[in-house]
């Protein structure tokens, strides 16, 4: 109940003013008590944990509608600096659920959350130890079939390296916003130039690259981003469905993951500062990574407003591989929006299915 004086003032308000008051109260409620994951229905698609290695899990999604003609399994490889469920965010916003409905045999990597004890995990380990074991488990469970790999963001880097080192394991390769060439003039490349950024100093201070520190950097990459987020929240307060969409994505963004220190150091120095992957001088597990070894069908996907992986950095992969079957797709939107944004189900998801279906038989 409102106090009498406040109630009187409220009665004297116009309808517009009353709506503003109601929305202000709702805004305060949301900000003071953010919803829990269960309330947001995050990662709604049923999955079985098939295998674990260190903090990593191999997930196999339940698919009662699978078309047996689509023999080749599809392994989703997300970034290691965010949680895997961006591809299975909420009901109606799940790339995983869409792919299942299309008849694909969908698996996914959950990299987990590294702790201080993982600070010595090397960049190479993510490819030659973790990802290789997970791919072998998928092949073993599916009759030895080669695997279609879809790598998103840093996962796209890992899958490109993997396909170059172990081409016999890979049936198809999809690079979704994964940067390959780090010589561009993008903001992240500018920030990490060797004359102004020393990853060893961060690793020396924290052990791992803290998730909260990376999130702060990404927030500052877009001027006024925090104000845009608050305005976006305000505009959705009287529409519960849109509000839940907003809160689900915000929860994922703040579900922070640390980058293991040793891996982070090589990631910055070898890729951002020395551009070794695109130049063909990157060594992983004692082997030179030659992207020309990739002969599998390749689809490279980029977003027009991606400030994390600019289009030239992503699409150059098509020029470096030996694949005869290779295509590019350019989609309107940003780095995250193309996967789980409002228009993802019309812009990205069908294009993935149309390209992958005839190559999965």
Domains of the chain from N-terminus onward: 37-359 (3.40.50.1820)
Catalytic (active site) residue 153? yes
pLDDT at 234: 84
Number of H helices, E strands in the chain: 19, 10
Backbone torsions φ then ψ of 258, nearest 5 degrees: -80, 150
Contact call for residues 174 and 352 (beta carbons, < 8 A): yes
Is 60 a residue of the active site?
A: no
pLDDT of 88 higher than 60: yes
Of 110, 181, 258, 335, which is the active-site residue? Answer: 335
Measured between its terminal Cα atoms, the distance across the chain in Å is 64
Mean pLDDT of 48-65: 90
Average pLDDT of the chain, as a whole number: 91
62-71 mean pLDDT: 65
- 105, 118, 153, 181: the catalytic one is 153
E-strand ranges in the chain read: 47-53, 56-61, 74-77, 106-110, 147-152, 170-176, 283-284, 287-288, 298-303, 326-331
Per-residue confidence (pLDDT) for residue 230, from 0 to 100: 83
Greater confidence, 42 or 185?
42
Q: Is the pLDDT of residue 79 over 60?
A: yes
| CA gap 262, 246 in Å, rounded | 34
Is 189 one of the annotated active-site residues of the chain?
Answer: no
CB 160 within 8 A of CB 317: yes
| pLDDT score of 6 | 53
Q: What is the pLDDT confidence band of residue 186, given thresholds at 50, 70 and 90?
A: confident
The mean per-residue pLDDT over the stretch 146-153 comes to: 98
- Considering 2-11, 21-30, 285-294, the range whose residues carry the highest mean pLDDT is 285-294
Q: Average pLDDT, stretch 294-304?
A: 97
Q: Which whole number is the average pLDDT over 206-235?
A: 85
Q: What percent of the chain has pLDDT over 90?
A: 72
pTM: 0.91
Q: What is the per-residue pLDDT for 69?
A: 54
Angle at 110 between CA 184 and CA 358, to 5 degrees: 75
Q: Confidence class of residue 1 from pLDDT cuts 50, 70 and 90? A: very low
Catalytic residue, from 110, 184, 258, 306: name it: 306
Give residue 235's pLDDT: 84
Whether 255 shows a pLDDT value over 70: the answer reads yes
């Amino acid at each position: 109940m409102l106090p009498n004086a406040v109630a009187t003032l409220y009665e004297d308000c116009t309808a517009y003013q009353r709506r503003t008051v109601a929305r202000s109260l709702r805004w305060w409620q949301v900000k003071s008590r953010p919803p829990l994951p269960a309330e947001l229905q995050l990662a709604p698609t049923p999955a079985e944990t098939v295998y674990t290695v260190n903090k990593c899990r191999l997930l196999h999604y339940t698919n009662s509608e699978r078309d047996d003609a689509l023999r080749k399994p599809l392994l989703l490889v997300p970034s290691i600096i965010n949680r895997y469920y961006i591809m299975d965010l909420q009901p109606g916003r799940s790339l995983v659920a869409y792919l299942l409905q299309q008849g694909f045999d969908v698996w996914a990597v959950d990299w987990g959350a590294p702790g201080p004890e993982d600070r010595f995990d090397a960049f190479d380990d993510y490819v030659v130890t973790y990802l290789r074991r997970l791919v072998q488990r998928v092949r073993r469970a599916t009759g030895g079939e080669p695997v279609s790999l879809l790598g998103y963001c840093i996962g796209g880097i890992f899958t490109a390296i993997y396909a170059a080192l172990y081409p016999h394991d890979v049936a198809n390769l999809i690079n979704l916003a994964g940067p390959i060439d780090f010589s561009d003039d993008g903001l992240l490349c500018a920030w990490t130039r060797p004359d102004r950024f020393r990853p060893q100093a961060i690793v020396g201070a924290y052990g791992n690259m803290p998730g909260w520190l990376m999130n702060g950097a990404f927030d500052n990459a877009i001027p006024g981003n925090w104000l845009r987020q608050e305005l976006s929240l305000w505009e959705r307060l009287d529409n519960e469905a849109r509000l839940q969409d907003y809160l689900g994505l915000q929860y994922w963004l703040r579900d922070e993951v640390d980058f293991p220190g040793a891996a982070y150091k090589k990631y910055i120095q070898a890729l951002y500062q020395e551009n070794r992957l695109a130049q063909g001088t990157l060594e992983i597990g004692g082997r030179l990574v030659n992207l020309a070894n990739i002969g599998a069908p390749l689809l490279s996907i980029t977003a027009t407003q991606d400030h994390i992986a600019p289009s030239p950095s992503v699409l150059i992969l098509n020029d470096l591989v030996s694949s005869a079957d290779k295509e590019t797709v350019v989609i309107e939107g940003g780095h995250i929006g193309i996967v789980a944004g409002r228009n993802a189900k019309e812009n990205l998801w069908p294009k993935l299915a149309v390209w992958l279906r005839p190559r999965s038989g």
